[in-house]
Amino acid sequence: MAQDPAIGYKVTATILNVKGHCSAGHQAGESFELSCHNPAGLCGFFYHDIFPSLQTLQFGGNLPWWEGDVIQLQCPDSYNLVMLQLERSKRS
């Protein structure tokens, strides 16, 4: 298995809420670090969907509609909707 080189900013994901049943077993309040090299157990469909935003956050970019270092994203499964918050911070 490849190792995460820990480059760029640290990105912490927090599950804000789950409507229905998350097939990957995520629950509200769960928090974990993920990166472009480490999906951290996030469902492949969700990881694929958030990857462009994750990449932008991890490597210091912004989009015009983002404010600060926190964004919220939702799972592509609208029947079992999982809301996720990504927050970037400097590595210690």
The H or E element spanning position 57 is helix 44-58
Q: Give me the pLDDT at residue 5, please.
A: 85
More confident position, 3 or 25:
25
Q: How far apart are CA 22 and CA 81, in angstroms?
A: 8
Residue 71 neighbours by CB distance under 10 Å = 21
In percent, the amount of the chain with pLDDT more than 70 equals 98
Q: What is the pTM of this model?
A: 0.91
Mean pLDDT computed over 36-48: 93
Mean pLDDT computed over 13-37: 95
**Taking 70 as the threshold, does the pLDDT of residue 1 lie above it?**
no
**Taking 90 as the threshold, does the pLDDT of residue 92 lie above it?**
no
